Amino acid sequence: MFKKFIQKSRIKSPWLLHYDCSSCNGCDIEVLACLTPVYDIERFGIINVGNPFHADILLVTGTVNLRNRKVLVNLFDQMPNPKVVVAIGSCALSGGIFRETYNVLGGVDKVIPVDVYVPGCPAKPEAIIDGVVMGLDKFKGKNAEEKSHAG
Amino acid sequence: MVKEITAILIVFPFLAALCCYVFRSSTMRFFIVLTTGVVLAASAIFLIPMTPFSIAVPALPGLGIHGIIRILDFLLLFIILYFGFKHHSLVIIGIAAFQIVLLAYFEFFLIRGEAAVTTIYGDYLSLIMVLIISIVGSIICFQALAYMKNHEAHLQLTKTGQPRFFFVMILFLGAMNGLVLSNDMLIFYFFFEVTTLCSFLLIGHDKTETAIKNAVRALWMNSLGGAAFIVALVGIYHEIGTLELQRILISSTPAAGVYLLSLALLCFAAFTKSAQFPFQSWLLGAMVAPTPVSALLHSSTMVKVGVYLVLRLAPAMSNTFLSQCLACFGAFTFLSAAALAVGQSNGKKVLAYSTISNLGLIFACAGLNTSESILAAILLIIFHAVIKALLFLCVGTIEQHIVSRDIEDMRGLYATMPLTALISVMGVIMMIMPPFGVLLSKWMAMEAAARNLYAIVMIALGSALTVMYWARWAGTLMSDPFAGRFKPESQPILTWGALGSLCAGAGILSIAAPWLYRGMLIPALGKAYLPPFTVHNGILENVSGAFAVFPLSLVAAVGFIVAVWAVKRAAGARIVMPYLSGVQTTESAVFTGPMNRPVKAEAKNYYLSSIFGENRLTVWINLVAGVLLTLMVGGAL
Amino acid sequence: MMSNTVLVISGLVAGPLLGGLINGLDRIITARLQSRIGPPVLQPFYDVIKLLGKEKMVVNVWQAFCAYCYIAAASISLVMFFLRSDLLLILFIQAVGAVFLVIGALSSTSPFSQVGAHRELLQILSYEPLLVLVTVGVYLETGSFKIATVYAWSEPLLLKLPFLYLVLGYALTIKLRKSPFDLSTSHHAHQELVKGLLTDYSGPFLALTEIGHWFEIVLLLGFCSLFWATNWVGMMILVAVTYFLEILIDNVSARMNWRWMLGYVWAMGLSLSLVNLIWLYAG
């Protein structure tokens, strides 16, 4: 019974960490737009905490390259379990239009396990919110002991 | 029986000191110090059921006790004069000469008759002081055995100075016992000057240039107090005709004119002894001495002489302008010393300013002169003596290990010296938190001061500043990111024994405060003050306030156990590096910087030296203190 | 004895429950002031329970110790308040928690924690003397530091201690971590030092600090309620208006720096207290 309570709370109170790998900031602006009164994601209890120690959901935008892969892994490791990763925008999914440049490694899932992919360039706020809510569904199945290590 | 025990408490240390000086082997010294400590502590404890008592010391054939003291007094003053010449200090020569002349005039021309006097009077206040001196003092001397060995090895001395060191330290214990037990003001004055001399000898022990300079400064400032003392004695004898403390206190002379001026001068002498502003520089300078000296003289015992004197005289000063000034002066010192401590990063200087601050609070309580404030003063004397000694010994131990006194160098000390760091943090917690004794006395002092607007504002501000510099230090000691297994470092048995007993002692005394109050402190308040609190279920209560000592201690103990259990459970948690914006490496506080090179992230404490710096504030504080002091002494006329 | 046990239990229960509800209302009102809708009222409880269910992760085992000490001190001070004990003592017990929070933050080497901890110390330095002076004002008026005396007093304290209530307001703003005094850590996403003091706390230990904060909110609002203790309706109105003003001030101010905070709070706080205390003393 207590487990159900905790599960319900996890769904009702997802805290975000938003990391921009090296995006053009288009997707980032759309993410921030979600916080504005127009979309107001705090209705769902979502807060943008800037600190992996406090976060449940990692929103990643931008391309992963040789410089920022370690940062992404560090941030992912510093988030306590259970956690969800949402990759936003085509750059995060697969490298986008920068896929063939020399320093781009490809999508976020080359470095850390991704749970939800939100396509778009930039992704619309409605799609981002949808993606986060879909990520919350994962909390229904996960428990705190499951360790997701970075690849 | 009482006579024998008192004789042991006062005379035995003088003989033991002589033995320390004569027998130069370190094993002999070890046994002499250990025996002296145990004998003194036991005698003090045996004295408890015999209090109160008074003794008229029998005359030796030919000379009365006064004769002996007279000779020793002049001898002492000539020794001080000699040191004045040796160190080319005109000030000391001047003051010592003044004292010799005045004392001679006083002794030979003014004093009439050798009436039988009560030389020694022990009430509960003296008993408390004797217990502190004998028990805390002995513990410090025990730790000094281990400390000095290390100290001299560090300085690579070829000829050991320890015989001289322990000679003065043990002699000092005897002098302090004599001081707090004496009823005759001239004998009090003699022991007062002995402690001045001991302080001078111990500060200059290492014989470096700074040490000697600071020792000379201490000598002249304390001698200034001695000079004021003698002038005050002349005044009192002139007005009342006796130098017996108990008779002075019950005299019905109205507190005005020459008599009040004499009392004010005695307060002045107390201020120089207790390093209040503007005389604080000698105590700050005295921090160059080996740490046991700082612990014994400059926090637990010698500086308490000043507050002891003023507490004794408090009933005679009630309802006077002098008392009001004393309260404001004490509160001002409490505030300004706390402000100066905020701006310090040198550990021993922080402790020194904290001592001055707490002494100021005791003076303020004496000045407020209600039964609640006097009780607060006595409690603060007890708890401050024990805990400050503990903290000084901790700093001494830490200093020997890391060869630095700076708080910044003690950052993360838990990694290398876990047990010492823990004991230091415990000491800090006992200084600032309920239900421990120092906070109990601070609470009591605030409740007593609430009707005096000047005092309460300054005490409130000072108290907040106190929290700042102590919490900062405690946090810095624990600033170690990795949670490994707790493995206590190795230290000599004497050190662990000293630190552990002081720490445990402070804790037990705090919890036992209500019973201490009923057993010793109500009698210590004497006939002049009604008991300010009733005790039930370990709660101190009266009409305007209540402090639930025992229930809170119980709850705190339970909370502590729960917290320790939480730590044990957290040992199974995942350990991560602190957050450094994602660029942390596997080493603590190191991140990947420009050009992919590791950079250490450094954070230092806020010392706010632009506001609370010593060089900024001291001038103004001394000015205000000088004004308040003039107001106090002049207003007595 | 029985009534004391009831009071203790209600204190321990009221802290989290009332504190959480007030926190929830705070977030809704803040949102409405910002033309948003805001989370449901029970949101703080969901937050805390989620945090309690997270993986235990620490930088240093001291954080665990200090988080427990913080919540212990906060809850004990609220329980003492319910037991109508000595106000000055309650203040000192509450200060224990604040100090442990600082020590816990200082035990992490991250600069965000360190700077946050020092700012928190400066905040404590700003409000603690003022709280003592307000308590002294209560003593000068009622003749006692005990809360029981205040409840037995026949007229609302607000009449004789208006300026001291304003001073209490300053302390309340700092303690509630509202702008312009939310230097060391603040609610929601007002990041400047990431999360300042609380940066390196996570999971269950963060939950404990949050619940401890709720205890402190209830304690301070209780302190405010003492100023109109004669009448339940008056008390509710006073506390509600005060809290709404706090939210309003939070939303219209920007965060200032510690120099301004220390200077302004001490200058205004000390002058207002002195005027009110002199009135009481002379009266």
CB pair distance less than 8 Å for C88 and B552: no
3-state secondary structure of B531: coil
Q: Does A145 touch chain B (CB under 8 A)?
A: no
- Predicted local distance difference test score (pLDDT) of residue B270: 93
- Predicted local distance difference test score (pLDDT) of residue A58: 94
For residues C19 and C24, give the distance between their C-alpha atoms in angstroms, rounded to a whole number. 9
Alpha-carbon gap: B533 to the closest alpha carbon of chain C (Å): 14
- Predicted local distance difference test score (pLDDT) of residue B24: 82
Query: Six-digit token pair at C158?
Result: 């607000």
Amino acid at C215: F
Taking the domains of chain C in order of start, what are their residue ranges?
2-282
Alpha-carbon gap: C90 to the closest alpha carbon of chain B (Å): 10
Chain A contacts in chain C segment 177-206 (CB below 8 A): 188-189, 191, 194-195, 199-203, 206
Kindly state the average pLDDT of the residues A94-102.
89
- Predicted local distance difference test score (pLDDT) of residue B483: 59
- Predicted local distance difference test score (pLDDT) of residue A112: 93
CB pair distance less than 8 Å for B574 and A53: no
Q: Does A80 touch chain B (CB under 8 A)?
A: yes
Q: Does B169 touch chain C (CB under 8 A)?
A: no
Per the model's pLDDT, the better-predicted residue between A2 and B383 turns out to be B383
Alpha-carbon gap: B577 to the closest alpha carbon of chain A (Å): 8
Write out the H or E segment, with its range, that includes residue A60.
Answer: strand A57-61
Backbone angle region of B582, left / alpha / beta, with phi > 0 → left and psi within -120 to 50 → alpha: left
- Predicted local distance difference test score (pLDDT) of residue A144: 42
Q: What is the DSSP string of A98-144?
A: GTTSTTEEESGGGTS--SEEE--TTPPHHHHHHHHHHHHHHHHH--T
Backbone angle region of C194, left / alpha / beta, with phi > 0 → left and psi within -120 to 50 → alpha: left
Amino acid at C111: P
For residues C51 and B573, give the distance between their C-alpha atoms in angstroms, rounded to a whole number. 15
Alpha-carbon gap: C45 to the closest alpha carbon of chain A (Å): 8
Chain A contacts in chain B segment 566-585 (CB below 8 A): 574, 576-577, 579, 582-584
Interface ipTM above 0.90: yes
- Predicted local distance difference test score (pLDDT) of residue B116: 56
Q: Does C34 touch chain A (CB under 8 A)?
A: yes
- Predicted local distance difference test score (pLDDT) of residue A147: 40
Nearest CA in chain C to A5: C49
Which residue matches tokens 């111990």? Answer: B202
Q: Do B322 and B260 contact (CB within 8 A), yes or no? A: yes
Alpha-carbon gap: B379 to the closest alpha carbon of chain C (Å): 17
Alpha-carbon gap: A75 to the closest alpha carbon of chain B (Å): 5
Structural domains in chain A, sorted by start: 9-140 (3.40.50.12280)
The tens place of each residue's pLDDT in chain C, 283 residues long, gives: 778 899 999 999 988 999 999 999 999 999 999 888 889 999 999 999 999 999 888 888 888 889 999 999 999 999 999 999 999 999 999 999 999 999 999 988 888 999 999 999 999 999 999 999 999 999 999 999 999 999 989 888 898 899 999 999 999 999 999 988 988 888 766 677 888 889 889 889 999 999 999 999 999 999 999 999 888 999 999 999 999 999 999 999 988 889 999 999 999 999 999 999 999 988 7
CA neighbor of B471 nearest in space, from C43, A24, A43, C69: C69
Q: Does C281 touch chain B (CB under 8 A)?
A: yes
Which residue in C79, C92, C274 has the most chain B C-beta atoms within 10 A of its own C-beta, making it the best mutation to test that interface? C92
Q: What is the DSSP string of A63-106?
A: -EETTTHHHHHHHHHTSPSS-EEEEEHHHHHH-GGGTTSTTEEE
Q: Does C31 touch chain A (CB under 8 A)?
A: yes
Instruction: Give me the residues of chain B with pLDDT under 70, please.
Output: 58-63, 111-117, 252-255, 481-485, 637
Q: What is the DSSP string of B100-155?
A: HHHHHHIIIII---------EEE-HHHHHHHHIIIIIHHHHHHHHHHHHHHHHHHH
Which residue in A22, A78, A79, A111 has the most chain B C-beta atoms within 10 A of its own C-beta, making it the best mutation to test that interface? A78
Q: Does C45 touch chain A (CB under 8 A)?
A: yes
CB pair distance less than 8 Å for B582 and A19: yes
CB pair distance less than 8 Å for B582 and A74: yes
For residues B524 and B128, give the distance between their C-alpha atoms in angstroms, rounded to a whole number. 8
Q: Do B369 and B317 contact (CB within 8 A), yes or no? A: yes
Distant-in-sequence, close-in-space partners of B15: CB < 8 Å, separation ≥ 6: none
Set of chain A residues whose Cβ sits within 8 Å of the Cβ of C191: 49-51
What count of CB pairs under 8 Å joins A to B?
20
CB pair distance less than 8 Å for B579 and A19: no
Set of chain C residues whose Cβ sits within 8 Å of the Cβ of B572: 56
- Predicted local distance difference test score (pLDDT) of residue B108: 78
| Letter string b/e over residues B484-510, b meaning 16 or more CB atoms within 10 A of that residue's CB | eeeeeeebeebbbebbebbbebbbebb
Set of chain A residues whose Cβ sits within 8 Å of the Cβ of C37: 40, 42-43
3-state secondary structure of A17: strand
Which residue in B580, B583, B586 has the most chain A C-beta atoms within 10 A of its own C-beta, making it the best mutation to test that interface? B583
For residues B198 and B14, give the distance between their C-alpha atoms in angstroms, rounded to a whole number. 12
Q: Does A75 touch chain B (CB under 8 A)?
A: yes
3-state secondary structure of B426: helix
Set of chain A residues whose Cβ sits within 8 Å of the Cβ of C185: none
Set of chain C residues whose Cβ sits within 8 Å of the Cβ of A78: 57
Q: Which of B443, B480, B571 sits opposite C88 (nearest CB)?
A: B443
Query: Six-digit token pair at B440?
Result: 């109990």
Helices B209-240 & B65-86 angle (0-180, nearest 10): 140
Set of chain A residues whose Cβ sits within 8 Å of the Cβ of C202: 53-54, 80
- Predicted local distance difference test score (pLDDT) of residue C225: 93
Q: Do B99 and B224 contact (CB within 8 A), yes or no? A: no
Q: Does C113 touch chain B (CB under 8 A)?
A: yes
CB pair distance less than 8 Å for A80 and C55: yes
Q: Does C27 touch chain A (CB under 8 A)?
A: yes
Which residue in A7, A48, A54 has the most chain C C-beta atoms within 10 A of its own C-beta, making it the best mutation to test that interface? A54
CB pair distance less than 8 Å for B582 and A72: yes
Set of chain C residues whose Cβ sits within 8 Å of the Cβ of A80: 54-57, 202-203
Alpha-carbon gap: B582 to the closest alpha carbon of chain A (Å): 5
3-state secondary structure of B535: strand
- Predicted local distance difference test score (pLDDT) of residue A116: 93
Which residue matches tokens 């003699």? Answer: B190
CB pair distance less than 8 Å for B579 and A53: yes
Q: Does C8 touch chain B (CB under 8 A)?
A: no
For residues B189 and B195, give the distance between their C-alpha atoms in angstroms, rounded to a whole number. 10
Chain B contacts in chain C segment 117-136 (CB below 8 A): 117-118, 121-122, 124-125, 128-129, 132-133, 136
CB pair distance less than 8 Å for A80 and C194: no
Chain B contacts in chain C segment 43-72 (CB below 8 A): 55-65, 67-69, 72
